[in-house]
Amino acid sequence: MELPVASRSDATPASPRAGLSVRKKLATIGVLAAGALALQALSQWSQSHALMINESESLPNWAFLVEAGRFPARGDYVIFNPGRDPLVLKYFGETPSAFAKIAYGVPGDVVSREGSDVLVNGKTVAKLKPLTRLGDRLEAGPVGRIPEGCVFAGTDHKDGFDSRYAAIGFVCGNRLAGVGRPIL
């Protein structure tokens, strides 16, 4: 029995190689690697950055990108834990949100008072009020040289609750969360 022999015109064309070409495979691997690196970088970035919503009226901005672990320079927005003074707890609750203020004074600067004016290095940065809006007594904050690792954090807002008052005082060490950059 003789088998028929197919001529070249009868043969079915060879099927193209299944799957991706080498070039496309390398491109896919490159895109996946770049994506993995981007995710890793974003993960590392998110360990030292956060978004903060400012709930007070003492600053014009209401959203800040916070960089943790950076000590503020004069004029930077400083993000900090307000502490556990009874006045803080009364007005802001048992777990107060972080405060955002301006670093008006840095280590070595001198805070002083002239009447109700609060000065840093001789320049007026804020005014003291005797009472809160609800009538609680406000004690004046610290004066003198700002210690290492601390800042005088404040605003020029008339109702600012900041380092001008003893309930906040100098913001030091573990109370400092980082430096904020206004984004909205």
Note the pTM of the prediction, 2 decimals: 0.77
pLDDT score of 160: 94
Residue 18: inside a domain, yes or no?
A: no
What's the CATH number where 115 sits? Answer: 2.10.109.10
Q: What is the pLDDT of residues 54-110, one digit of tens each?
A: 888 889 898 999 999 899 999 999 999 999 999 999 999 999 999 999 999 999 999
Residue 41 φ/ψ, nearest 5 degrees: -65, -40
Strand order in the sheet with 150-154: 49-53, 63-68, 176-182, 77-80, 99-105, 150-154, 171-172
Q: State how far the Cα of 95 lies from the Cα of 85, in Å rounded to an integer.
A: 12
- Would you say residue 56 lies in a domain? yes
Q: What is the mean pLDDT of residues 151-160?
A: 95
Q: What percent of the chain has pLDDT over 90?
A: 64
User: Which pLDDT value is given to residue 2?
Assistant: 58
pLDDT digits (tens, 9 = 90+) for 16-52: 555 778 888 888 888 888 877 777 766 776 778 888 8
Q: Is residue 106 part of a domain?
A: yes
Q: How many domains does the chain have?
A: 1
25 located within any domain: no
Q: Above 60 in pLDDT, residue 8?
A: no
Task: Assess contact for 78 and 176: CB atoms under 8 A.
Answer: yes
Its domain, for residue 166, covers 49-182
Regarding beta strands 150-154 and 144-145, do their DSSP bridges make them parallel or antiparallel, or are they unpaired?
A: unpaired
Q: Would you say residue 139 lies in a domain?
A: yes
In a domain, 1, yes or no: no
* DSSP notation for the chain: -PPPPPPTTTSPPPPPPSS--HHHHHHHHHHHHHHHHHHHHHHHHHTTEEEEE--SSSSS--EEEEEET-PPPTTSEEEE-----HHHHHHH-SSPPPEEEEEEE-TT-EEEEETTEEEETTEEEEE--SB-TTS-B--B---EEPPTTEEEEE-S-TT--STTBTTT-SEEGGGEEEEEEE--
Both tokens of 147, joined, read 């210690």
